[in-house]
Amino acid sequence: MNGFDALAAGLACPVPVNDDTVVQMAHGGGGRKMAQLIDGLFLPAFRSDALAQLGDGAVLTVGRERLAFSTDTFVVQPPFFPGGDIGSLAIHGTANDLAMCGAEPLGFSVGLVLEEGFPMNDLRRIVASIAAASAQVGAPVMTGDTKVVDRGKGDGIYINTSGIGRVRDGVSVGPERAAPGDVILVSGPVGDHGIAVMAARNGIDLVTQLLSDSAPVLPLVRALLDCVPEAKAMRDPTRGGLATALCEIAVASRVGMRIDEAAVPVRSEVRGACELLGFDPLYVACEGRFLAIVPPQAAERALAALRGFPDGAQAQRIGEVTAGDPGRVLLRTAIGSHRRLERLSGEQLPRIC
């Protein structure tokens, strides 16, 4: 046996861990494992055309109106973080999902799961925050529900919000509508929310002025759609970050994409934190940002519309939709090389290596 064979014989390899007998954190991480759960469990079970679109919300036609319907559940820890709290996040998150469908929100539902022992003062603060956010968005909380679970069974507070909205006339956005030649825009710097939340975690302990970008994107979306009603697709990059959102649209539209890494705006603090933890900013969650895909002749108009707002001041063109391999998102690095952007496998974990 030569040296090579001897080495091959002595190889080590563990049993693959593909144990899906229990739910794991990665199933909620926004990456591939979550996609597998959706494709493998939810879609076949629920068999609905609307669901199969996998948009930020479902669009249904009722008479002459198109209504958008969306839901989101919020489990963020800690519940109070720099720049927001779970209450404001819960309204903005769902309002933003409706906005991504091109819809104006009509109203929200709020479902609370509270853990026995959760401080009443904290609840008051959160409820006030929900109220303020819904006023800011201009749509009321119409209905709700409250449950309390035993101490130790709930992580403080979980919030589910659902929202219903009316899709603007003349607007038709969806993840399947991107076409070769379309331009890809992002409304502002990415990764603020993910890093702001991570920084506050025990054991990470980063000190920063960075605020979560949790905010309603509605004013920017309204301005964009006023100027560019022919916008093709919008998505807010939450879990899994910008890269995952791009991959999802590329897959849904069966197109390729080319992204210019140097063009993606990232705040210096986010870069610093990512360097320290070994994260890639393109995969860090945002909460008050969105990407928009528009026809090429509308790109300048769209950018101008976004830049008219403080939250959109750093809006940038970051790439184009191409006719390449469907689902393939290619990143051109600042030094001229290329690499493919994939969906995240699980969550990004801080690394030493």
Measured from the CB atom, is 13 or 120 closer to another protein? Answer: 13
* Cβ burial, residue 18 (10 Å; 0-12/13-18/19+): exposed
3 scored as a contact of another protein (CB under 8 A): yes
The CB-of-330 to another protein minimum distance in angstroms stands at 6
The CB-of-183 to another protein minimum distance in angstroms stands at 14
- In the list 114, 199, 298, 305, the residue contacting another protein (rule: CB under 8 A) is 199
From residue 78, alpha-carbon distances to 46, 64, 82 in Å are 33, 43, 10
- In the list 190, 251, 264, 273, the residue contacting another protein (rule: CB under 8 A) is 273
Tokens of residue 95, six digits? 């309002």
Question: Contact 200/78 with Cβ under 8 angstroms?
Answer: yes
Peptide bond into 175 cis (omega under 30): no
14 scored as a contact of another protein (CB under 8 A): yes
10 scored as a contact of another protein (CB under 8 A): yes
The CB-of-27 to another protein minimum distance in angstroms stands at 9
The CB-of-33 to another protein minimum distance in angstroms stands at 6
The CB-of-348 to another protein minimum distance in angstroms stands at 8
Which of 195, 217, 66, 68 is CA-nearest to residue 137? 217
86 scored as a contact of another protein (CB under 8 A): no
Rounded Cα–Cα distance for residues 318 and 85 (Å): 30
Tokens of residue 176, six digits? 């399947």
- In the list 1, 28, 36, 99, the residue contacting another protein (rule: CB under 8 A) is 36
170 scored as a contact of another protein (CB under 8 A): no
Rounded Cα–Cα distance for residues 316 and 77 (Å): 31
Per-residue contact flags (x/-) with another protein for residues 277 to 316, judged by CB under 8 A = xx--------------------------------------
The CB-of-9 to another protein minimum distance in angstroms stands at 7
Residue 304 region by backbone torsions, left for phi larger than 0, else alpha for psi between -120 and 50, else beta: alpha
DSSP symbol at 15: P
Rounded Cα–Cα distance for residues 204 and 253 (Å): 38
1 scored as a contact of another protein (CB under 8 A): no
Rounded Cα–Cα distance for residues 68 and 221 (Å): 15
The backbone torsions φ and ψ at residue 115, rounded to the nearest 5 degrees and listed phi first, read -90, 135
How many residues touch another protein (CB under 8 A)?
68
276 scored as a contact of another protein (CB under 8 A): yes
Measured from the CB atom, is 176 or 280 closer to another protein? Answer: 280
Can you give the binding site for another protein, defined by CB under 8 A?
A: 2-4, 7-19, 22-26, 32-33, 36, 195, 199, 203-210, 256, 258, 267-269, 271-273, 275-278, 322-325, 330, 333-342, 345-346, 349-353
